[in-house]
Amino acid sequence: MKEYELKYGCNPNQKPASVDIEEGDLPFTVLNGRAGYINLLDALNAWQLVKELKEATGMAAAASFKHVSPAGAAIGLPLDDTMKKIYFCEDTELSPIACAYIRARGADRMSSYGDFAALSEECDETTARFLSKEVSDGVIAPSYSEKALEILRAKRKGTYLVLRMDANYTPKAMESKEVYGVRFHQQRNDVKIDESLLQNIVSENKELPEAARRDLLIAMITAKYTQSNSVVYAKDGQAIGIGAGQQSRIHCTRMAGNKADIWHLRQHPKVLNLPFKEKIRRADRDNAIDVYISDEWEDLLREGSWQEVFTEKPEVLTAEEKKAWLASVRGVSLASDAFFPFGDNIERARKSGVSYIVEAGGSVRDDHVIDTCNRYGIVLIFNGVRLFHH
């Protein structure tokens, strides 16, 4: 198939809309549902991300995309009991690709609501069953087991979008797009992200453990497919905080850091033991956790509100308790898609437990950034590569 007619473009009034390819056939096959413009933007960007994650780490990889940026990305490391609890998948046998998607989806469940999923491996029954319970627009994978396809075809009254990607497809070296009647051409961003980009350690602390190397690769590859400016925090084989599309880099660092903080606070005993009603909807549960952790907790715990989601009124997670919990966090990795212009980014990052940073370098204030890292014993790497994505 060389051309595919879409439901509409970015918005319902933008009709007609289609995608096509100059040479050969489109690299994807629609197995179920009908694709929209944004669906395919998410799917094709997400596929590139998981393909690169698998190549860089040798492990199954998954991504959860919303509005052409990842809400989460991860590799298929096993989940411990705490992770299973915060991702609501206890008492379930999980395959590596299921672990990868559960991590990617669970990193920022508020942003992943209504996502497009990408899998580097065949979608198996376990992953399909997890997807079937979530609010999601579609999935792209190189193949599907017979049972997985049966499960997914039944989702959303049979309209769930299922795409099979040609894993051997290689696009042309040059790419183009049109804006306001003007056509742009550039070489695809085919820079290879691997451990060769982690050699130039410019900080006094040069200890870079294997887990940090892995997480820095995950953070860099995730940033490569995140709308710029972007900053990504990663830990334990997954992105835990993504700041996307901000004009100021410090705002990216704050946004991503706030999301990373929420990920860590979800592991606090008070959050793990929230007394939810048995049949609460998943979206209501996720929203309640988000509000409970936030400074707006009174909106949730006031009389008449907490009864809607809890069997009994939970204790407040105080500001002092949150501060103490986050103060114990260490070993977080961070990647920026361009250089940090000032040390304020480092100051914010270290408050979220960042111990390892990789960025392009090349700022006139590099010396200040290096000095700030040295003050806190943070490992800083200049990779010399800018990863803007627009």
Q: Is residue 67 among the annotated active site residues?
A: yes
Q: Which of 229, 322, 345, 383 is catalytic?
A: 229
Q: Is residue 368 among the annotated active site residues?
A: no
Other C-beta atoms lying within 10 Å of the C-beta of residue 366: 17
Calpha distance 69→61 (Å, rounded)? 16
Fold classified for 269-316: Helix Hairpins (1.10.287)
pLDDT value of position 92: 80
Instruction: Quote the mean pLDDT of the chain.
Output: 96
pLDDT digits (tens, 9 = 90+) for 223-273: 999 999 999 999 999 999 999 999 999 999 999 999 999 999 999 999 999
Other C-beta atoms lying within 10 Å of the C-beta of residue 183: 8
The answer for 111, left when phi > 0, alpha when psi is -120 to 50, beta otherwise, is: alpha
Residues of the chain within CATH 3.40.140.20 domain(s) are: 3-165, 174-265+325-382
102, 130 contact by CB (below 8 A): yes
Fold classified for 3-165: Cytidine Deaminase; domain 2 (3.40.140)
Q: Which of 157, 185, 279, 390 is catalytic?
A: 390
Amino acid at 290: D
300, 284 contact by CB (below 8 A): no
Arithmetic mean of pLDDT, 272-299: 94
Q: Which of 54, 66, 155, 224 is catalytic?
A: 66
- For residue 1, pLDDT over 90 is answered with no
Tell me the whole-structure pTM to 2 decimals. 0.96
> Which residue(s) pair with 72 in the sheet?
64
Percent of the chain with pLDDT over 90: 97
389, 230 contact by CB (below 8 A): yes
pLDDT value of position 240: 98
Q: Is residue 185 among the annotated active site residues?
A: no
pLDDT digits (tens, 9 = 90+) for 103-126: 999 999 999 999 999 999 999 999
Arithmetic mean of pLDDT, 40-56: 98
Q: Is residue 390 among the annotated active site residues?
A: yes
Band (91; pLDDT cuts 50, 70, 90): confident
253, 278 contact by CB (below 8 A): no
Residues of the chain within CATH 1.10.287 domain(s) are: 269-316
- For residue 90, pLDDT over 90 is answered with no
- For residue 9, pLDDT over 90 is answered with yes
Exposed/middle/buried for residue 31 (C-beta within 10 Å: 0-12, 13-18, 19+): middle
Fold classified for 174-265+325-382: Cytidine Deaminase; domain 2 (3.40.140)
